[in-house]
Amino acid sequence: MDTGEPAGAVVAAAGGEKRAALLRQITEEGGFAFVASAEKAAAGDLRAAEAAREMAWEQLHSGPWREVEPAWRDAYALACLHVASIRAGDDRRTALRALDMGLIMGGDLLRAELEAAIARVPAYRNGDSNGDTGIDAERWMEGLSRNRDLADVGKNYVCNEWRQDLITFSQFLERMWSPDCSANLTYLAQHPLFDQIKELREDIVVPDYCYAGGGELQSLNAWFGPDGTVTPLHHDPHHNLFAQVLGRKYIRLYNASISEDLYPHMETMLSSTSQVDLDNIDVKEFPRTEGLEFMDCILEEGDLLYIPPKWWHYVRSLSISFSVSFWWRTPILPSEGS
């Protein structure tokens, strides 16, 4: 039906409604100070915009990520939009940084607005009086696409030294190629890289196997890191096709039927991870691991490995490595041991 309104006006109205509904929700969550700052930010107050972003950032770090209220993720994205809108005219780098952080840490509610705002920023560069051309703007945008924030630091996620750093993709590459890389292993592990860099997603073809038996793709993740990175022994809930794109990886598999013999962690968050360190097995502490049957292989570039649901697997990079995992589910899961 033709309403007679310009398409841009309709989109703007829809965006305004989303923001208003979000602010009402944040008010219900007790975020009165955030709402007050966000309203001032919408009128062009930079200090208020940065204050709102800081308040939302604190909420994102108030506890485990899975326990953060989704509304605060959207609130963070809104604050990033405000900061970028005010900064875009005189500090494009800061504006892009704000939008990028909004995409990474924010929710889905305002994602389309964030992406549209990023696409508009090069237009400012085109309009500069220093003679920049459209080609320059395209190269600048291409550079942005390679500079998303990401990464995991440490041997693996169960070691005491493990932590997560929020760094740019270029910083990640610098760490990976640095001489002291082995002492400061940085790993892009199970990361939604293809959501952040859409140009890379265009190079990925989902294998037909993922749709067999009425299958439905659940997630598409990247694994990128140097020699020596480890994913400890664990299992996943979905079917997994693991594709080796670059480099080599060693993988060991244990049948799902022997889960109790692999000593899963008792804590809920690590219940799908084994307490056994396969790089240094303590048979006295974990006697049932001795003599367990397993399968192992080395994945080379171009190899594709199927890992059934609930099957335990351990992964070690043997070189600089880039892998892609395709998780999918079917209406009926295979029984344990099948």
The pLDDT of residue 298: 98
Nearest Cα to 316, choosing from 231, 221, 222?
Answer: 231
3-state secondary structure 21-54: HHHHHHHHCCCHHHHHHHHHHHCCCHHHHHHHHH
List the chain residues with pLDDT less than 70: 1-15, 64-66, 122-164, 181-184, 332-338
Q: What is the pTM of this model?
A: 0.63
pLDDT score, position 130: 44
CB half-sphere exposure, 283, CA atoms < 13 A: 3
pLDDT at residue 30 in the model: 93
Q: How far apart are CA 264 and CA 273, in angstroms?
A: 6
Q: What local confidence, expressed as pLDDT, does residue 141 receive?
A: 44
Q: What is the pLDDT of residue 155?
A: 54
Whether 242 and 307 have beta carbons less than 8 Å apart is answered as: yes
Rounded to 10 degrees, what is the CA torsion of 277, 280, 281, 283? -140
Among 224, 252, 222, 228, which residue's Cα sits nearest to residue 326? 222
**What's the CA gap between 161 and 153, in Å, rounded?**
8
Asked if 210 and 238 touch (Cβ cutoff 8 Å), the reply is no
- CA dist., res. 337 & res. 65, Å (int): 33
What is the pLDDT, as a whole number, of residue 14?
61
Residues 6+ apart with CB under 8 A from 170: 146, 147
Beta strand 249-254 pairing with 295-299: antiparallel
pLDDT, residue 193, reads 81
